[in-house]
Amino acid sequence: MSDYGTWRKGQDYGTILVDLDLHRVADLLPDRSSESFSSWLQQHPGIAIIARDRCGLYAEGAALGAPDAQQVADRFHLILNFSSAVERVFEERSRELVLPPEEEPEIPAAGGPRSEAMSPDRRDSLPVRRQQERRQQRLERYERVAELFGKGYTQRLISRELGLGR
């Protein structure tokens, strides 16, 4: 059985079982193990579909406790995994993503100098500048978290104050 104090501090994990048809919590398990999940499923026969994250412990528990139930990925984790993958792709390919200039570039006269808006240096600087802006935003957010932590704010208050997840 988990100690409530360590659970609150994020050092232990429990399991929340939700009835997605009724949109309510069905039960709370004190740990995150295939044995307790399997045992719970055996005590509640008739479950036909199990929506879960990709954790192997829950897959094993579901297979043991309700072998005839269909296991599916839950919507939250599908969206979370998809958004993380898209973000990762955009970050990896940020150099290749170049937005068109906001103003129409001037067409240089034949044999005249190239427009500054079309120079390779200017095109390459936009993704770099955006990357630096994102880095600066992360640094400012980190500094704000450190400042609030230094003032004695708890993780919960900091996350609420800054609109962040713990």
Q: What are phi and psi of 98, to 5 degrees?
A: -125, 120
Q: What percent of the chain has pLDDT over 90?
A: 33
Rg, Å, the chain Cα set:
25
User: What are 88-138's pLDDT values in tens digits?
Assistant: 888 888 777 776 666 655 666 665 555 455 555 555 677 778 888 888 888
Task: Give the whole-angstrom CA distance, residue 17 versus residue 3.
Answer: 19
Q: Is this prediction's pTM over 0.75?
A: no
User: What are 118-129's pLDDT values in tens digits?
Assistant: 555 555 677 778
Higher pLDDT pick, 21 / 103? 21
